[in-house]
Every structure is written in structure tokens, then in C-alpha cells.
Amino acid sequence: MINKELYRGKNILVLGLAKSGEAAALLLHELGANVVVNDALPYEENAQARALEAKGLKVVCGDHPLSLLDDGVELVVKNPGIPYHNDLVKEAMARSISVVTEVELTSHLSEAEIIAITGSNGKTTTTTLVFEMLKNSPKTPLIAGNIGTVSCEVVKEATNEDVMVLEASSFQLLGTEAFHPKVSVLLNLFDAHLDYHGTKEEYIRAKAKITANQTEQDQFIYNADDELVSKVASTTKAKTIPFSTKQVLLEGVYVKDNKIYFGKEEIVELADVVLPGAHNVENILAAVGAAMSMGASKQQIKEVLHTFSGVEHRLQFVTKIKDRLFYNDSKATNILAAKKALEAFDQPVILLAGGLDRGNEFDELASSLSNVKALVAFGETKEKLAATAKQSNVREVQFANRVEDAVELAYQLSNEGDVVLLSPACASWDQYKTFEERGNEFVTAVRALQL
């Protein structure tokens, strides 16, 4: 059982709802804390807040009054999406009140050891691989975090017979103080979420917090081919296990003679791995390192790699229609993710891209557009993407209002043997609440083509 006395009687403000805020508020309430929930959505429109109030929690909706901090608040649990320049957050920090995210609560409360996985790209795939690889191991894997069920829900059921496999974002990690995973994984570092973090240095600092509290008894799995990741590795106290697609690392995970090795032990032949895309080899190496560190069997790892073909919204194969292949990569919310998706295909590609304008240009995407025969752009960034495509000699560029319209246009532009790929290179929030909603619209529109 978790420590039920840790937060009893404490005055805690939960700032922002969505899934993580609601889960944190309910958990703290169950643990006997005096919880106040504050959310910007007005009370009349806020079904979550009304449901929490019905369960006995105090809710304040519509704005973020600073007076909420005047009643002896000892801790603020912030929804990860709320920026640190929020006035209430700044005031709490000015008063030396700790501001954390729900994964910090999880670290304090979990009886299960934690494997935490982060990086600019590949988190969901790697997290899912580790989860699958740990099945039939001495400890039962529980999956949590950005990938689905928030950790504050999972932690209530976790025991010391389990291991929590946690996908962690930079937003979540920035709000940690004592977060201490047994195994941490850092996949890669790329310019991302700079509208939130302000600078690349702050973004890297947030990611590096995944290993900040690890000790010599813990493991840190890292990408030895990424210079920035390697710099983070040089600061950890944990045992380091590097992985590489370019170097033979006898103390890590690597590729040699088209086989994957952990140390000197052969794990699997690359030809037998079904997960598509060269970029996924890095994710596989990281997953092997993490799973082996936590006691996964070689046989279970091989079985997963022989059968695992990907996760929803991440290079997800949807269907084949008149010899056109349709792939949903809605989780490609930045340029690097879209580049990796494009580089996974040799066939001609009709690319569907666009979304929230975070102020960046798309010049870095240009080198991966050589096999793109047409672009259908949508959202706030459509003009920027169109300019990059034209400079890269993409033959056909068209605009669509939404993803469902883009699918119809893409089908009209396609020929037999083409790939129709949704890989937006942008966040979804200009038109969709989540990348999942955007991806589901793509899948629905593709299915409609078959009717």
C-alpha cells in the first residue's frame, strides 16, 4: 500500500484539470488532503469541476485568483500544460511554495519501482516496447503517463510486485523535485516546445531532471549518438548504459552485423524486427536496455520484436486502398518526428502536414522532402509549409481546411504505389484538442474512402 499519511491534512491547490489534474485532485482527496481545485474554464461549462465538487472538493473556476494562496497553501500541483509565467504559478514560487506536477506525487507514493522514459521523439513507442518486453517478468509491468492512464491513477493500484513504465514529458519533468526512477531513459534531444520552455537550454534542463535524483544503484539508458544526450549522461550518478546504431558498445546496446546486442549477448537479428523505420532501431535499442535492466527475459524481448508493429498515431498503418498505403503519424508534433517518418519510406509520399504555429520555420524539414510528390497543408502553419515544399521542388502543393478534407485531396493526387502519410510536424491545438483527435479524424476519413 502507498503511504496514506504523507499528504493527510495538508492544504494543496490543484491548478488546472484535464486528465492529470483531475487524477491528482482525486488521489490527494482520498489521502486526506485539504484540496482546492482551480481551473480557468467557467463553472457552468466545467463538467470535471462540478463532478469533483460533488465528491466534496472545493472548486474555483473561471480565473486564477492570487488569493487562493492566502489560506496556508503548502503545495501547488500544476497541470503540466500550464506555463510557469502564469501569474498564480509565479506568485506561488515567489512565496516559496513548491509547484510540482503529478509525476512528483507518483514518485513519493509509488510502491512500484519506476522506469521513466523521455526524449524529444520516440517516447510512446519506447514506453510501449518496454511494457511489452516486461510481460512474464518477475514484476508485473504497469504502463502510465503521457501514453494513456496518468500516473496518479496507476499509483493507487501499484505494489512492490509491479514496475511502472512511465512516459514523461519535459512539461512533467520540469515540475519535479525528488522524482527518482529506478531506470531512466533519454532517447534524444531536439528543439521542441520552446514556446513553453523559452530556450533550448531550459528544455534540456527539464529533460535532464529524469536522472537528477538517481544514485549508483540506478540505471540511466542514453543515446550515445546524440551529443546533447551524452552531455546529460556525463552528469548522472546512475550506472550508464549507452545505446548506439553507429558504435559497438560492449557495455551497452548496439547494432553489429545487422544484429542487436546487449553487451556481448546477441538479442535479435534486425531482419526479424517488424517495426518499420530506421529511427525505430534507436527506440528498440533503448527499450532493450531498459527491459534487460529490469529483468526481462531475452525470449520475451525477441517475441515482442518479432510481432510489435507500432502504436496508434505513431506511423500507424491504417489500410491499403487501390494499392495506396495510408499511415497515421499524428503524434509527429515536431519537425524531427516528421523527418523520421518521411525517411521511413522509399515510395512516393503524399504528405499531410500542418497545425499550431509556434513561430518556427520548416527549413529543417526540406532535406526529407525528396520523395514527397505532393503536400496537402492545413492549419496555422500551412503557408509556411507550402513555402518550404515549393523551395524543395515538391511538384504539387494544395491547402485543406481540416485533416478530413486533406485526406480527400491526397487521395485524388495519389497513384498506385504511393504512401499517403499524415505526419503534421506541428502540435494539434489550433484545430484539435489532442493529436489523438486529429489522428482519429484521419483514420475515419481514410475508412470513408472505402465506402
Q: Residue ranges per domain, the chain?
A: 11-100, 110-307, 316-449
Q: Is 451 helix (H, G, I), strand (E, B) or coil?
A: coil
**Grid cell at residue 206:** 527539464
Instruction: Tell whether residue 122 is among the known ligand binding residues.
Output: yes
**Grid cell at residue 338:** 516528421
Distance CA 57, CA 35 (A): 6
Cα–Cα separations (whole angstroms), residue 312 to 120, 173, 187, 434: 18, 24, 20, 13
Distance CA 30, CA 13 (A): 15
Domains 110-307 and 316-449 share a fold: no
Query: Can you give the pLDDT of all 451 residues of the chain as single tens digits?
Result: 467 789 999 999 999 998 899 999 999 999 999 999 999 999 999 999 999 999 999 999 999 999 999 989 999 999 988 888 999 999 999 999 999 999 999 999 999 999 999 998 889 899 999 999 999 999 999 999 877 789 999 999 899 999 999 999 988 999 999 999 999 999 998 765 556 656 888 889 999 999 999 999 999 999 999 999 999 999 999 999 999 999 999 999 999 999 999 999 999 999 999 887 777 899 999 999 999 999 999 999 999 999 887 777 888 888 999 999 999 999 899 998 899 889 888 899 999 999 999 888 999 999 999 999 999 999 999 999 999 999 999 999 999 999 999 999 999 999 999 999 999 999 999 999 999 999 999 999 999 998 7
Residue 445 phi/psi, 5° resolution? -65, -40
Instruction: Tell whether residue 119 is among the known ligand binding residues.
Output: yes
Instruction: Tell whether residue 148 is among the known ligand binding residues.
Output: no
Distance CA 254, CA 234 (A): 19
Instruction: Tell whether residue 199 is among the known ligand binding residues.
Output: no
H helix count then E strand count, the chain: 16, 20
- Looking at residue 330, its pLDDT comes to 95
Distance CA 143, CA 314 (A): 17
Distance CA 160, CA 167 (A): 19
Beta strand pairing status for 259-262 and 265-269?
antiparallel
- The whole-model pTM stands at 0.79
User: Which is the CATH superfamily of the domain at 11-100?
Assistant: NAD(P)-binding Rossmann-like Domain (3.40.50.720)
Beta bridge partners of 354: 378
Beta bridge partners of 162: 140
- Looking at residue 170, its pLDDT comes to 87
**CA proximity to 120, closest of 334, 421, 358:** 334
User: Which is the CATH superfamily of the domain at 316-449?
Assistant: Mur ligase, C-terminal domain (3.90.190.20)
pLDDT digits (tens, 9 = 90+) for 225-245: 999 999 999 999 999 999 999
Which one-letter amino acid corresponds to residue 88? L
CA dihedral 431, 199, 85, 42 (to 10 degrees): 10
**Grid cell at residue 298:** 531475452
CATH code for the part of the protein at 110-307? 3.40.1190.10
Instruction: Tell whether residue 444 is among the known ligand binding residues.
Output: no
Please state, as a whole number, how many other Cβ atoms lie within 10 Å of the Cβ of residue 395.
Answer: 11
Which one-letter amino acid corresponds to residue 366? A
Give the helix ranges, DSSP H, for 175-226: 194-197, 200-208
Please state, as a whole number, how many other Cβ atoms lie within 10 Å of the Cβ of residue 309.
Answer: 10
